[in-house]
Amino acid sequence: MKTHSLLMPLDMHVHLRDGEMLQNVAKLTSYTFSGAVVMPNLVPPVKTKEQLLAYKERIMLACGLEIKEDEFDEFFDDVGLSGGDFEPFMTLFYDNYSEDFLDEVREDIFGIKLYPAGITTNSEGGVSDFDVEAMRETLETMARMDIPLLVHGETDGFVMDREAEFMSIYELLASNFPDLKIVMEHITTKAAVEMLDKYPNLYATITVQHLLITLDDVAGGMLQPHLFCKPIAKRPEDREALLNVALNAHPKVMFGSDSAPHPQHAKESCGCAAGVFTAPIALQVLCELFDKHGKLDNLQSFVSDNAQSIYGICPEFKEVILEERPFTVPAKYGEVVPMYAGETIGWSIEDVL
């Protein structure tokens, strides 16, 4: 039976949520990934050092990770926040933060996530006006401190054009802040792929679903709420462009699942919440896809090595062994329906070392 081993897989964009949902989903990510970039769009959004550290602690506990006594923190001096074989890379919700504040949180954050106001789940407090001068102090300080800016790149225009319309904002940011590392999160268009090579400081993450589906799969037949996410899947030529850079291990492209769990009732309802839940199947599906295209050897770059070089990180050791053996995706994980629920995919997790 064909097997494939991945070292230190990283999910560079994930929603772990909080409370009961966190308890339900966190282990599904920490089981197969060495680390994951955790989105801050909680209610309220993660905007202070106290919120960030407390959230990190809840994540570690939910993952069942060993608490290390030697990793003291001045805010939680009785509980270490790191350890085990999974690292949550914490992000703050963007605001025009002061230099003093950024100085104080630098050691605890991996990046800052910028949402345009109201563009997606829990983003009401995001940026409503991309006024470069108003953002300059924060973005220049971030560049100086080497804090990456992770961006949800959509305007409030026509849904299929939102990402393409946002390209001018990426250009504005990339050219005004050439030393700032900017990650175009969950790109879905050919336009975004083409931006990658235009600016040395622009990078991107790509989800599993956007490599596999187009708008047709979401809304071409019976409406598929579990494939509905933001940005919405686009046209075949967009998917081709994404596949091309992912399969060929473009060095500026990283895997970020954007796995975004919502309870079944919030998806299968009038007013479906945006988000596709892929955490438990992402690596298996990626193996199947890369194998189908004869590109399995490039998967390691896409799911780990590129992110390690781009962000300069050295993740905890983990080896995930996958096998070309059918896996029937469970109908639900707790209250959450995953992508491909009840369907059989071609690859399974054989072991995690």
Residue ranges that bind Zn ion, judged by CB under 5 A = 258
Q: How far is C-alpha 16 from the geometric centre of its chain's CA atoms?
A: 10
Residue nearest to Zn ion (CB): 258
**Of 120 and 284, which CB lies nearer to ligand DOR in the complex structure?**
120
By annotation, the residues acting in catalysis are: 258
- What would the x/- binding string for ligand DOR be over residues 221 to 240, using CB under 6 A? --------xx----------
230 binds, among Zn ion, ligand DOR, none (CB under 5 to 8 A by kind): ligand DOR
- Could you tell me if 334 and 36 are in contact, meaning their C-beta atoms sit under 8 angstroms apart? no
The site for ligand DOR, by CB under 6 A, has a size of: 10
Please state, in angstroms and as integers, the Cα–Cα distance from residue 134 to each residue in 97, 98, 139, 174, 176, following that order: 11, 12, 10, 16, 12
179, amino acid identity: D
Nearest distance from residue 347's CB to ligand DOR, in Å? 25
**Of 35 and 116, which CB lies nearer to ligand DOR in the complex structure?**
116
Q: Of 30, 82, 120, 205, which one interacts with ligand DOR (CB under 6 A)?
A: 120
Interatomic CA distance for residues 322 and 287, integer angstroms = 8
Q: Is there binding between residue 274 and ligand DOR (CB under 6 A)? A: yes
**Of 39 and 53, which CB lies nearer to Zn ion in the complex structure?**
39
**Of 14 and 307, which CB lies nearer to ligand DOR in the complex structure?**
14
Pairing of strands 35-38, 87-93: parallel
Nearest distance from residue 318's CB to ligand DOR, in Å? 25
Which of the residues 134 through 173 are near ligand DOR (CB under 6 A)? 152
**Of 85 and 258, which CB lies nearer to Zn ion in the complex structure?**
258
Closest CA to 177 of 193, 154, 199: 199
- Could you tell me if 111 and 183 are in contact, meaning their C-beta atoms sit under 8 angstroms apart? yes
- Could you tell me if 96 and 45 are in contact, meaning their C-beta atoms sit under 8 angstroms apart? no
Nearest distance from residue 2's CB to ligand DOR, in Å? 33
Nearest distance from residue 260's CB to ligand DOR, in Å? 4
- What would the x/- binding string for ligand DOR be over residues 27 to 46, using CB under 6 A? --------------x-----
Q: Is there binding between residue 278 and ligand DOR (CB under 6 A)? A: no
Which of the residues 57 through 116 are near ligand DOR (CB under 6 A)? none
Nearest distance from residue 201's CB to ligand DOR, in Å? 22
Q: Of 29, 30, 91, 121, which one interacts with ligand DOR (CB under 6 A)?
A: 121
Nearest distance from residue 119's CB to ligand DOR, in Å? 7
Q: Which residues bind ligand DOR (CB under 6 A)?
A: 15, 41, 120-121, 152, 229-230, 260, 274-275
